[in-house]
């Protein structure tokens, strides 16, 4: 089941230039920066009430963010929905006829596993599914 909008992703050319802009705009500091190797991206997160904003900077010219920036320029990139069972959501969406970029979850930023839907099957909106990784039980 989808639980909430987890974050909005915004493609930027440079975190060092964009973080101060968003800190001023949102009146809150960036609380976390992280490299996500599977996507060749640097991320920066902002908490705004119960919501989050994720800035994304490409670290490789072949990365999805670099391709997006070349095609569309800076701006809104994706909406991420939190789920408590990402594998169930992937199967549900496949059965409903959606095309997924990732049919198996992979490591994402902010302690999440993620999967993206292809925008051609979701009204040209890039949709990310994400699920919080649970810490291993303490034995």
Q: pLDDT tens track of the chain, all 139 residues?
A: 999 999 999 999 999 999 999 999 999 999 999 999 989 999 999 999 999 999 999 999 999 999 999 999 999 999 999 999 999 999 999 999 999 998 999 999 999 999 999 999 999 999 999 999 987 667 6
Give 134's DSSP letter.
Answer: P
Does residue 139 lie in a domain region?
no
CATH number of the domain where residue 127 is located: 3.10.180.10
Does residue 137 lie in a domain region?
no
Domain span at residue 29 reads: 2-132
pTM of the model: 0.91
> Shortest CA distance to 115 belongs to which of 124, 123, 106, 10?
106
CA 131 to chain centre: 11
Q: Beta strands 2-11 and 51-58: pairing type? A: parallel
Q: Are 43 and 33 in contact (CB under 8 A)?
A: yes
Q: Which residues, 6+ apart, have CB-to-CB distance to 47 below 8 Å?
A: 28, 31
Query: Structurally, how many domains does the chain consist of?
Result: 1
Distance CA 64, CA 58 (A): 8
Specify which residues 107 forms β-bridges with: 113
């Amino acid at each position: 089941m989808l639980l909430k909008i987890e974050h909005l992703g915004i493609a930027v050319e440079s975190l060092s230039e964009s973080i101060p802009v968003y800190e001023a705009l949102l009146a809150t500091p960036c609380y976390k920066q992280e490299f996500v190797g599977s996507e060749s991206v640097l991320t920066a997160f902002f908490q705004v009430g119960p919501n989050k904003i994720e800035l994304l900077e490409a670290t490789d010219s072949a990365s999805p963010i670099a391709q997006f920036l070349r095609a569309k320029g800076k701006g809104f990139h994706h909406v991420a929905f939190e789920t408590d069972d990402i594998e169930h959501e992937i199967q549900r969406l496949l059965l409903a006829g959606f095309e997924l970029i990732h049919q198996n979850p992979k490591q994402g930023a902010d302690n999440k596993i993620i999967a993206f839907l292809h925008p051609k099957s979701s009204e040209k909106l890039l949709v990310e599914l994400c699920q919080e990784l649970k810490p291993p039980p303490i034995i």
